[in-house]
Every structure is written in C-alpha cells, then in structure tokens.
Structure 1
C-alpha cells in the first residue's frame, strides 16, 4: 500500500510534467491532472474563471457542524524557465533524485498543491465531526502578478468567505505572518522632442526623468516605526524613453515601487512621490505637467502570534518538534491582497528548497512527512474549535 506522502509526490510529479508558466502556457493540462485526482478521491471541486479563462480550482469540504471555514492556498502556475541551457535537468522532468523533487514548480508550489489536495481528502474522511469547512484554492494565475484565482475566489458569491488562509509557500524554519504592502505607479515625464544635434535650451525627457530619479532616491523615508519590524522602501524599477541616437524623446516613463508599512501607507507613499514630481516641474519645467498613474496598492499586514490561523500553524509546528519562528516578510504576497479584504493569512511554511524562480528548482522530500503532519494538525485544530 502506498503511503499518503508517496501519493503526494506522485501527484506533484505529474503537475511538474505539465508546464504551466504564468502567462505563457495553457493551464488546461495541469488543471486536468488535478481534476482527475480529485475525481478519483470523490472530492467536490469546480473551476473558477476570469473573463472566460480558467484561473483556479476550488475544492470545498463541509464539516458536519456549523463553524468558520478555513482555506489552504497553493499556486499551480509557475515562474518562467529562464535560460534552459543553464539547467542541469529538464525544467519539466518531475524526477526524484537523491531525495529531491526536481523541476519548475517543485518548490513554488506544486508540491504544496498536491499536499493540500491530500489534506482535503483526509479532512473529508472525518468531516462529520468537524466544524465549519475547508476550502483548497489551487491558483493558476499567481505568477502573472494578477492573483486571478484568489480574486475569483473572493468574488464568487457561491464560495464561503474564509476566516483565514494558509498559503503554501516553501521553507521549514519560518511561518510568514506579515509583510510590507506596496504602492506602485508609472510616471510619465515630458519634454520638447527634437533632433539631438539641434541647438537646445531645455533638457530632454530622459534628462528630466534622471533628475526625478535622484529626487525620489534622495527623499527621506521613515525608519522602523512601532512594532512593525521593517522600514518602508522606494525603488525605481524601470525607465523607458527614446527611440534612437539622433532623436531627443518627448516622453520618458518610470516605474515606481514603494514598499509600505502601517506607519507609512499608500497615501504617504503617493504624497512623497507627488512632492518630488512637483519639485521637478517647478525647477525644470516641461511642456506639460509630469503625469502620475497609480497602478496598485496593497496594505501591509502583520498577525499577532496568537491570532488565527498563524497560532494554529505555529502551535502545530511546535508540537511536531519544529523550531519555527514567525516572520514579517519584505516582499509582498497574496496575504497582502487578503489583508485588504480583512482576511488574515499566513504565507509561507513548507519544505526546504533550492532554485526557486531560478535554475535547477527542487524541493526536499525528506521534509514532507513533518510538513504534512503540521498542516494536517493545524487544519484539524482549526476545524475542531
């Protein structure tokens, strides 16, 4: 008889062997693998769509008594392969070598998706004695940055709103209980266009943009404030302008990414950027005002150690003998999206890994039994109280 963890590995291998790079591959093959597995285990599921395209599978297991619902979330789309010639094995091989599951998505997060499917089956076996219910969201639109699966889940009137979500990112030493938020915008800097060899008295758009970059990078940001352990951070992430050597461009576009905190949120980030833009337009005027187009804003969040579902996961890890600590992350994650909806979330606990989003991605299967035990214990504790 095959063990539950062997079944998890088998499913993860099949998922890895169906390329599902976000925004590149067709998601239908990887979703069919999941659907076949869920059908074979008599688990109820349905597809979620965004503008007609499938973005997730939603598995729902109701308990026998009233109570809150909790959700497990893992993505089944992946990062791109990058330079495949740099890999020492095919990115879609799904092999197990020396105890490591290899291939794109092994760590992020097809092994977690397979594990969460197995936990749903285990919950269903004892559902009559449990309160509330368990949702498993298998998101196929995470790596695009659109989080289409999570958005479709939250917008679905037929889905039960979760009391909290556990997101299956890898790493066995930390439970991510918070993260900086973000405010993002594009900035279009204008100037008079013309020939690079002509007599000019005003700087071009690229030159004006360069001055704005300096103003932004020299702007004073607050340090760590209160109990939130990270300071805000501003980064200029792209600069696009110009079409050739002989033409002075009339416009240059910048990308601005501000990582926010409870003491320095989206409004403060936007105000800082607008002050820098106003200073540029006053000191080096252009033919029209510099334009700021906000793109996205997510709040920062941080759960207390005794707040669910973090408390259940940390307690389960301790009871399984793992020295796991809570962590507030610098990068944003789906937890920020959920925080904006008032839904608490953890965003990281799983097996050891290497090569995530890089070359030779792989996940350590020696960690799978205890990670499985921790999630199973945490979920059953949440559904029993």
Structure 2
C-alpha cells in the first residue's frame, strides 16, 4: 500500500505512480494495491479477487464500488502491460515514469494505465467539488487483458454478477484515438476467429517426387480457397471481414532437398456482424471441404486432399452498442472539451469490451494510441489533462441523463 497519496485530482501524479510498477502480464507487481490505495480515500469499497485455472497463471483483479442505489456506471480497464522489449531502445527506463519535454514515458502510459489515471482523477475532482452525482460508480480492472484473458474480465464479471452487481453502462479506457483526443469513440468491435489447417503428406526426396506427397501443394490450394473470394462486402456498421494468414510451418523441415511430411497454416479473421463465430467457422469449413474435394495431390492420384482443421482460442462475435444516451453523453463531453465531434467507429482489434457487452451497453474511449506497445511509449501531459476533463464532463452528463 502507499505510504503517501498523490494528488487525486492530478492524472500525471497518479499515472507516474502506476507506471512504476512493472506489471507485465501475469505479474501485478503492486499496481492494483496502489490503485486500491487511491480509491479508498474517494469512498470506494475495494475487492481484489484472484482467479485461477489449470494451465494458466493466477491473476489478481480489482473491483471497486461506491454508492448503493441509483444508476450504475462502470469504468473498465487493465493494469497489466506488454513487455518493454529491449530496454536499450528506450530513451528513459520503461518503468520509471520519467517526464521529459511535456511527455510521460513508460510502458502502459497509453495502454492503458493512462486511461485509469484520468478516470481516477476525474472522480477525485468530483469528490473535491462535493461528491459524485447520486448513483453508483464502479471500476472493474483486470491484470489479464494483454495475456490470454482467461482469469480476468470474464471471470470478474461473473464474480460481480454472483454478488448482485448490475451495470447500466460501461466505458472502457482503451486508447481509441488515432491522432488527437476527440477523434474517435469505439461503439463496437469486429469479432475474431483463429484457426490452423494442417495437411499431412509423405516425406521424400525432392528428386523423386513420385515417391512422396508434398503437403505444401495441398495447403496452398486450401489457403487459396479461403482467400480467393471475399467473405463479405461490409455494411454501414462495419468494414468488410478480413482473413489473414499469420503463420506457415513445415514442422522443422530445414533441408532444401526434402519434401516435408506435414505443413500447416494458421490464420485469423476479423469479421463483422454479417457473421457469428459459428456461422463463419461453418463457412470456412465448407470452403476447405470443397477445395479438398476438387484438389488431387498429384495427377496419378484421385483421392481428395486430407486435412485437419483446428479452431484456436476463444472466438468473439462482433457487437454494436446502440445505447443512444451513453454515446450521446460521451460525444457531448468530448465536443465540450475538445471542440471535436468524435467519429463513432467499430474499427480496430478486440478488447475486453467483448465480455462487457453481455452485461451492459459499452463504449470505449481513451488516449491517443500512436505509441502503444512501442518502445518509448509515452503520453503528452496535456492529453492526460484533456482526457480527465472529458471523463469529468461525461460522468456529470451521464448521471444527469439518468436522474
């Protein structure tokens, strides 16, 4: 716990403290204890449940809540960060929280300890002015967003639901703005589906191909079947779905004169709401089966291509938030502070919003994301102040709309 509490209205002081904990997934390193120490003086009751599952690291999480009745607003995020990489590539140590030339350097400064710091500072300013609006505010913070996301937000939401918690709206503090604060609010996300196709052949000498079956030939035909025809054309809500091959493997075959015995290709699809994970996986399997039926390994053989399709990880469906009151309150807060009218977007990758959408309407808004996951990740101090002002205004507007 902290021996001294920084100014709870100052996002820079809060972020400096949080960045100094090297909370690389799955390590917490003290980040959540610090966050608890910051929230208790603001009137929050804090719980820090730890979730576990065989084959994964135990993960500490945080749920903080103030208020007992009325509309319930939740802010969600994560204190875990990706590794800093080669620290010699950094101008300043990645966990020192150094301020230089008007910017704060550190892993997690943008993604997303900065968003957490700004929301806490916004709560601090409400408290300094006499208290939060009537209602309930919670923070739902995980240490497993950058990792496998198994012992994090999904289990924390289930834990909260078992205790009777019900949320009316959620803001996720991910860095959503591409260039400047106020550019973009995420009101939905594409789904994600990953898989690996493996073709088994017969290993042999390249000079005697008639004695072997080269699985790469068949694998190329299968991948061509997945890539040749677009999955869809997109719609007014989402861009077109996109399949990308992410890895090719011949299982250790390094010899230039050996035909491999196996070959595989892994792929990921970011898909829109024309599909569900179930309907899209069925379409992929249909395309593969048709290509395998039409593909003969060699001219002298008439058997279909044999392959194995394995789906990976936890697929997530696309979603779109249609809560006009939530979007309006946040958009108006952004415009009142920055003068910009934010675009309402469904672009980008996935986030923990994919779990939160099943519990309440959710939008995402945070810092500018240009340096996230990079060496010298950093945030302008002026952006920290601006985001705090936006969150401050949003809290007031959202609760006023639900009074």
Q: TM-score, normalised by structure 2?
A: 0.83
Distance (Å, rounded) in 2 between the aligned partners of 1:260 and 1:298: 9
Aligned match of 1:236? 245
Aligned match of 1:188? 198
Q: List per-residue Cα deviations over 1:210-258 (Å, max 9, x = no partner).
A: 3322221213322122x21411111111222222335644433322211
RMSD: 2.8
| Matched-pair contact (CA < 8 Å) for 1:189–1:291 | no
| Matched-pair contact (CA < 8 Å) for 1:191–1:287 | no
Aligned match of 1:378? 394
Change in 2 beyond 3 A, CA 1:200/1:127: farther
Query: What pairs with 1:86-125 in structure 2 (closer than 5 Å)?
Result: 86-122=89-125
Unaligned 5+ runs, structure 1: none
Aligned match of 1:60? 65
Q: Are residues 1:168 and 2:179 paired?
A: no
Aligned match of 1:355? 371
Q: List per-residue Cα deviations over 1:126-174 (Å, max 9, x = no partner).
A: 568503x111122211111416431122111126132221011233121
Aligned match of 2:219? 209
Change in 2 beyond 3 A, CA 1:322/1:74: farther
Aligned match of 2:36? 35
Aligned match of 2:341? 324
Unaligned 5+ runs, structure 2: 1-5, 297-302
Q: Are residues 1:255 and 2:266 paired?
A: yes
Aligned match of 1:299? 317
Count of matched residue positions in the alignment of Structure 1 and Structure 2: 375
Please state how far the C-alpha of 1:114 moved relative to its aligned partner.
1.8
Distance (Å, rounded) in 1 between the aligned partners of 2:206 and 2:164: 59
Please state how far the C-alpha of 1:117 moved relative to its aligned partner.
2.6
Please state how far the C-alpha of 1:322 moved relative to its aligned partner.
2.8
Change in 2 beyond 3 A, CA 1:82/1:212: farther
Work out which of the residue numbers 341, 344, 356 in structure 2 matches 1:338: 356
Aligned-partner SS, 1:11: helix
Aligned match of 1:17? 20
Distance (Å, rounded) in 1 between the aligned partners of 2:36 and 2:132: 24
Aligned match of 1:281? 292
| Matched-pair contact (CA < 8 Å) for 2:8–2:38 | no
Change in 2 beyond 3 A, CA 1:41/1:134: closer
Change in 2 beyond 3 A, CA 1:215/1:383: same
More strand by share: 1
Change in 2 beyond 3 A, CA 1:363/1:147: farther
Distance (Å, rounded) in 2 between the aligned partners of 1:321 and 1:11: 22
Aligned match of 2:275? 264
Q: TM-score, normalised by structure 1?
A: 0.87
Work out which of the residue numbers 128, 149, 153 in structure 2 matches 1:150: 153
| Matched-pair contact (CA < 8 Å) for 1:19–1:92 | yes
